[in-house]
């Protein structure tokens, strides 16, 4: 018996997309069957509630909506984020979207352009080395900050990292910033300087240890490190970077401990809203700023950037039609990787998988993306301002074509300008 056949009729209807419901209603009318039940909007079953919560939709444990004071005096920064580019494509202009988006962001007052580090998978495979791409972006931009989002630092020698990013800092005129991450996929660790299970398991500690060393090297401090036969060698990085201090971020999918440790280290935060309903993210940001204060850092100086899939347009319906297919493909990939959502997802029938993904998409579209009109997206921006987010990182390369992305930018500028302070 499949998942769908185990559901009640109302639960099965809850999993349908609007298009599927309309088609079902049409067929029922053709057969003379009462369509009242199709017109109703039944609540999702427990499984669907779990999926919805995992994609950032939910309320506090009390079951009551959270009421927050509005912080109308605070603005919001907007940056452009890349993550999903298909590395398997054979066409000759693979980075055209990245380059044109960076030029647009530079011209229209966006705060930064982020490029990630991804290895060995088609999904994201355009971005194996953010320092190389950032060097290219440095030569075609003048104002926008050039950021890595993120470098999986346990895969790298911190000295080599500093040398590479110092070059980019010089090429850009001092516009470099880097988010550090632990790395995730075990296969990526074929690149690591140490390839043991213990090293992989302790990669978070490695990340924060590397952060300390990076700061010392970047400042020009000579550091003694093991050389041949573990004999210590004193090193200083060259070329000297233009910025006396490298602005560092820590990437976290939502681990509370990582938020706190980022605050303790005085770093900024890069995160998302998947697995983090608004009130949950609000509490983690509070803990982050509290940790900054306890460790001698200005709590309000900490930047919190939230990554959001982004596509704006003239109407919500037109945008929904454009993003549905690429986003559902993205969600399929995400759910397969996140075993805490549905551990047995791969055992579902194709129809069951489609039902789950369709349901997740509806919640994703409504609650945790910049999808739709400027007015629709303003609601999410204001909620994020209220909980202490300082920047949204607009992910644009999730499968929509370049023309759609560039058209979306025109609306995104309007949204950005509403919250520029």
CATH number of the domain bearing residue 109: 3.20.20.30
d(CA 99, CA 120): 23
Check whether residue 9 and residue 145 sit in a common domain. no
Residue 93: phi and psi, rounded to 5, are -120, 55
Q: Would the CA dihedral through 363, 308, 185, 279 be positive or negative?
A: negative
CB 30 within 8 A of CB 252: no
Check whether residue 27 and residue 88 sit in a common domain. no
d(CA 311, CA 412): 8
In a domain, 71, yes or no: no
Q: Would the CA dihedral through 171, 113, 119, 158 be positive or negative?
A: positive
Q: Among 41, 17, 71, 67, which Cα is nearest to 390's?
A: 71
**Lookup: tokens for 202:** 């302790």
Check whether residue 300 and residue 400 sit in a common domain. yes
In a domain, 100, yes or no: yes
CB 112 within 8 A of CB 143: no
Check whether residue 28 and residue 89 sit in a common domain. no
DSSP state of 42: P
CB 302 within 8 A of CB 288: yes
d(CA 16, CA 356): 9
d(CA 22, CA 36): 12
Assign 121 to helix, strand or coil: coil
In tens digits, what is the pLDDT along the chain, a chain of 421 residues?
A: 344 433 444 445 555 556 665 666 666 566 565 555 445 444 445 555 555 555 555 433 333 334 555 555 779 999 999 988 777 777 788 999 999 999 999 999 999 999 999 999 887 789 999 999 999 999 999 999 999 999 999 999 999 999 999 999 999 999 999 999 999 899 999 999 999 999 999 999 999 999 999 999 999 999 999 999 989 999 999 999 999 999 999 999 999 999 999 999 999 999 999 778 899 999 999 999 999 999 999 999 999 999 999 999 999 999 999 999 988 887 777 666 555 555 666 666 677 777 778 888 888 899 899 999 999 999 999 999 999 999 999 999 998 999 999 999 999 999 999 998 7
Q: Among 260, 355, 372, 231, which Cα is nearest to 308's?
A: 372
How many separate domains does the chain show? 2
Cis previous bond, 158, omega within 30: no
Predicted structure pTM score: 0.84
Check whether residue 374 and residue 268 sit in a common domain. yes
CB atoms within 10 A of CB 250: 25
In a domain, 287, yes or no: yes
Assign 389 to helix, strand or coil: coil
Q: Among 294, 305, 191, which Cα is nearest to 248's?
A: 305
Q: Among 137, 125, 119, 140, which Cα is nearest to 90's?
A: 125
pLDDT for 31 = 56
Check whether residue 132 and residue 235 sit in a common domain. yes
Check whether residue 414 and residue 282 sit in a common domain. yes
Structural domain for 21, as ranges: 1-43
In a domain, 389, yes or no: yes
Q: Among 218, 206, 213, which Cα is nearest to 181's?
A: 206
Type and span of the H or E element at 105? helix 96-107
Check whether residue 125 and residue 37 sit in a common domain. no
Check whether residue 86 and residue 33 sit in a common domain. no
Check whether residue 81 and residue 220 sit in a common domain. yes
Check whether residue 164 and residue 283 sit in a common domain. yes
Q: Among 69, 155, 144, which Cα is nearest to 112's?
A: 144
Check whether residue 81 and residue 28 sit in a common domain. no
In a domain, 244, yes or no: yes
In a domain, 349, yes or no: no
């Amino acid at each position: 018996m499949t998942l769908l056949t185990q559901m009640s009729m109302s639960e099965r209807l809850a999993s349908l997309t609007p298009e599927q419901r309309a088609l079902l209603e049409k067929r029922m009318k053709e057969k003379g069957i009462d369509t009242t039940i199709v017109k109703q909007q039944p609540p999702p079953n427990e499984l669907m509630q779990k999926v919805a919560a995992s994609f950032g939709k939910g309320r506090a444990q009390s079951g009551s909506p959270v009421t927050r004071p509005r912080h109308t005096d605070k603005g919001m920064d907007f940056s452009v984020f890349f993550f999903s580019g298909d590395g398997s494509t054979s066409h000759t202009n693979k980075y055209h979207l990245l380059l044109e988006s960076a030029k647009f962001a530079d011209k229209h007052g966006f705060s930064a352009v982020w490029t990630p580090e991804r290895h060995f998978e088609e999904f994201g495979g355009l971005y194996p080395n953010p320092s190389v791409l950032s060097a290219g972006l440095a030569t075609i931009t003048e104002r926008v900050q050039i950021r890595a989002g993120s470098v999986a630092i346990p895969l790298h020698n911190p000295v080599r990292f500093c040398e590479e990013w110092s070059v980019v800092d010089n090429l850009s005129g001092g516009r470099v910033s880097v988010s550090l991450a632990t790395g995730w996929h075990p296969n990526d660790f074929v690149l690591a300087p140490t390839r043991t299970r213990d090293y992989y398991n302790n990669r978070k500690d490695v990340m924060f240890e590397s952060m300390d060393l990076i700061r010392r090297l970047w400042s020009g401090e000579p550091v003694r490190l093991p050389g041949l036969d573990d004999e210590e060698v004193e090193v200083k990085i060259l070329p000297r970077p233009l910025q006396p201090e490298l602005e560092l971020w820590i990437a976290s999918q939502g681990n509370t401990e990582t938020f706190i440790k980022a605050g303790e280290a005085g770093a900024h935060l890069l995160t998302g809203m998947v697995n983090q309903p608004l009130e949950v993210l609000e509490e983690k940001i509070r803990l982050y700023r509290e940790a900054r204060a306890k460790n001698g850092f200005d709590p309000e100086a900490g930047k919190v950037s939230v990554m959001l899939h982004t596509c704006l347009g003239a109407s919500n319906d037109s945008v929904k039609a454009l993003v549905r297919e690429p986003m559902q493909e993205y969600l399929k990939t995400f759910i397969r990787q996140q075993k805490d959502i549905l551990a047995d997802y791969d055992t579902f029938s194709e129809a069951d998988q489609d039902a789950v993904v369709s349901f997740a998409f509806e919640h994703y579209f409504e609650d945790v993306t910049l999808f739709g009109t400027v007015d629709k997206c303003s609601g999410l921006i204001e909620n994020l301002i209220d909980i202490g987010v300082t920047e949204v990182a607009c992910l644009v390369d999730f499968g929509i074509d370049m023309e759609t992305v560039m058209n979306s930018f025109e609306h995104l500028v309007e949204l950005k300008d509403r919250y520029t302070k």
